[in-house]
Copies of this chain bind each other. A is one copy, B any other.
Amino acid sequence: MEPRSKSIEIGLNAAIVAVEKLEPLILVTTRDEAGAGDARDALPFGPFNPLAHRTLEMGLRSWVGEQAALELGHVEQLYTFGDRGRHASPGDEGPHVVSIGYLALSRIRENTRATIAGYRAEWRPWYGYFPWEDWRDGRPEILGDVIMPLLHDWAGETPGPAERRLALPRAVRLKLAFGEDTSHWDEERVLDRYELLYEAGLVEEALRDGRAAALDRGEAPRLGRPMQFDHRRILATAISRLRGKLKYRPVVFELMHDAFTLTELQNTVEAISGRHLHKQNFRRLVEKAALVEPTGAVAAATGGRPAALYRFRREILEERPAPGLRVGARH
C-alpha cells in the first residue's frame, strides 16, 4: 500500500421517494441471491463521468432514466459523504469512493424497471428503516420500550477523550435529538437521531463498521432495517431535508396525482412528516397559502361523503416567495 495517494472515484447516490397508500416509499436495490443472508438494501448508485454529462445533476437524471425507467421531478443535492471507512470491508483495497447524495421525487409508475444494473429494484416503505420516525399514530412504542432506556445508558457512560472535545455532552445531544418528554419531538432531526443510534451501537451498521462501543453491549438490538455502506445515513439526510422543504416549497405536489382530495393531500404530508395534523388547521393553511384550486369534480366516494377534487395552482410559484405548508408544532 502506498503512503500518499489513492485513486478516488465519485459516485452519485439517489434517495428516490414516492408516496402510495399513505406510505412514503424509496427505491432500493437488493442482491437477489438465494441463500445469502447478508444481502442488504442499497440506494441506486451510478458513477459520474464528467465527459458524458455537463453537470452532476444531469448525470444523475440520465442514469436513473436509463436504468430505472423513471422520470424524476424535483432533484436536489444533499451532502457529500467521503468518510474513510464508509465502504469499510475488512482489508479494504481499491479506490476510495466519495459519494454525493441526492434527494429525488417521483410518482410511482407501474413500469419501474425490476432490475437496476443487475440488481433487483423495489419500492420499500421508508419507515422500515426508521421505525421510530413514524408518529402518525402517536409515539412509537419502541421509543419508550427500547430506544430511550438504551440511549440513556449510553449517555451515562464516560466518553473517550476524542469525543469529550466535541461541543456537547451525550446527554445534551440526546435531549436535543429525541426530545425530553413526549412533546418536544422535532421531526426534522432524522439524521441527528440516526447518528446517535449509530454511535450508541444500536444499528447494525455500527457493528459492521467495527465500533468497539457497539461490541461491548452483548445483546444490543439492531434497530430498523439496515442498508449497505452508509446509505441509511444518506436516506436519513433525505428525509430530514424533505420534511423541512415541505414547509416552504410546494414539493408535495410532485408526489400527488394531478387531482386529489384535501384529505389525500393531508395524508401525504402526514406520511412524510411522520406526524398527525389537525384537519381544520391543515385546510385553512392550504386555503390561505392559495396552493390549490378546485377542479369542480368530486372523488368517487370512499366510504363517506364524496370529497371535492383539487389541483395544484402552478401560478403560486410566481406569486409568493416561499409557498409551502408551514405545518405547525403539534396536531
Contact = CB atoms under 8 A, between A and B. Distances in A.
Interface of A: 3-10, 48-51, 53-56, 77, 79-80, 82-85, 96, 98, 100, 167-168, 172, 175-176, 184, 186, 317-318, 321-322
A80 B56 contact: yes
Contacts of A168: 317-318
A167 B317 contact: yes
A50 B8 contact: yes
This chain: copies in complex: 2
Given A8-B8, A80-B80, A172-B318, 16 more contacts: A3-B51, A5-B49, A6-B50, A6-B51, A7-B7, A8-B48, A8-B50, A10-B10, A48-B82, A50-B82, A50-B96, A54-B84, A56-B80, A56-B82, A77-B80, A186-B321
Contacts of A3: 51
Given A50-B82, A84-B50, A8 B9 contact: yes
B82 A10 contact: yes
A143 to B, nearest CB: 17
Question: Which residue of A3, A53, A83, A175 has the most chain B CB atoms within 10 A of its CB atom?
Answer: A83
B80 A55 contact: no
Contacts of A6: 49-51
Contact of A83 (B9, B55, B82, B322): B55
B80 A100 contact: yes
A84 to B, nearest CB: 5
A100 B55 CA distance: 14
A48 B54 CA distance: 23
B172 A317 contact: yes
